Structure 1
Amino acid sequence: MTKVDEVLESVLEGYASFLRERMLAPLRHQPYLVRWVQEFLLFAEQHRGYTFEQTLELFLAALGERVSITPWQIQQAADALRIYRYQYRADASRAEEARPTPTTTGTDEGQLARLQEVIRLRHYANSTEKAYLNWTRRFLAYRHQAGLTGEPTAADVKAFLTRLAMVEKVSASTQNQAFSALLLLFREVLRRDLEEMAQTVRARRGRKLPT
């Protein structure tokens, strides 16, 4: 199982627990709601750059084209996804904000200090420095929370960016800023071969729905 698969599995398990605890649907219906969320998240990975509501509209339209899907199933999918986005994710975001920031290690602090030096030598704006250091700190904290050891890898970056897109639902520009910060970390601090990072999934900037 890849780290991306692990992120998806964790999200679905959390959503299933949320449905059970809040009794938001009959028990016999809950597995179907979880399945709709799984299908939607996989669909969203192939349709990046849209807002949640735009992606939902595209997803429901795609369901409507399946001859085996009935109108009540489309409504069930819409209900499942709005519970996921506006109730489950809202609760998860509040819990994330309340969680204390993990303590960084001496190695982490050394990497952050070297990254800050690189940024200042390049005369980046203060706002860029603050944002890049924040994303790097969050990435390193994510690795600790996930129990990852050793030097950061491209797979770690991909899992982190996937979490931002699929779990935290950040905008494309925000995800790309995080990627840029980590790209600088890898190139200038870790001195790592970036060939494998070319495969890292990045969100495309938003675009209008076709009319």
Structure 2
Amino acid sequence: MNQMTIPPGHRMDAQGRLVPESKIKPIDKTRDELVRELYAEAEDLNQRIRAFKTKVHQDIAAFVQLSAEQYDVKLGGDKGNVHLTSFDGELKVLRAMAELIMFDERLQSAKDLIDQCLREWTADARPEISLLVQDAFRVDATGKIRTGAVLALHRLDIEDERWQRAMTAISEAVQVVGTKSYVRFYKRDANGQYKALSLNIAEV
């Protein structure tokens, strides 16, 4: 049953049941009104943030191109990190471009090689390495391999030939599937330190 089929004087509850208005407590009606009002405002804010983000990227790209033209340089796209600072140095805008990466099937070969090492090393009382590696291959909340944790294994100074082959397999398994852009805003405080302007509702 959809909203169009609800008869006058009734509301549908969370279980899909029709409830007469007269049977709904005033506090439940007030709660419903509050949730709908706040969600509408949040949805409007979300759309305005999206529009602002698009404008920021377009404006920065246009300025980078304008700046390049001053030196007769033709830029090949808008990739790359850009720092823009106000004339007095008080304000700063940063556009950062981060590559989105994933691993192909060679990651499993790397894990198999690492597992071979671990089976021997755990017998020699090196459980901390085992825990570190197991954590690296643990998936995140969305079921995806945490690329940063896997790539961090390269920092371990281990000379075992199988480990080195595993690190090579990890490097070769990396596939760049796109880029994601970030824009951050900063203002210099009285101590000369740049403080980020948070646009995250949880951090404001």
TM-score (norm 1): 0.22
Q: Which has the higher contact order (CA 8 A, sep 6+)?
A: 1
TM-score (norm 2): 0.22
Q: Name which one, 1 or 2, has greater alpha-carbon Rg.
A: 2
- Which is helix-richer, 1 or 2? 1
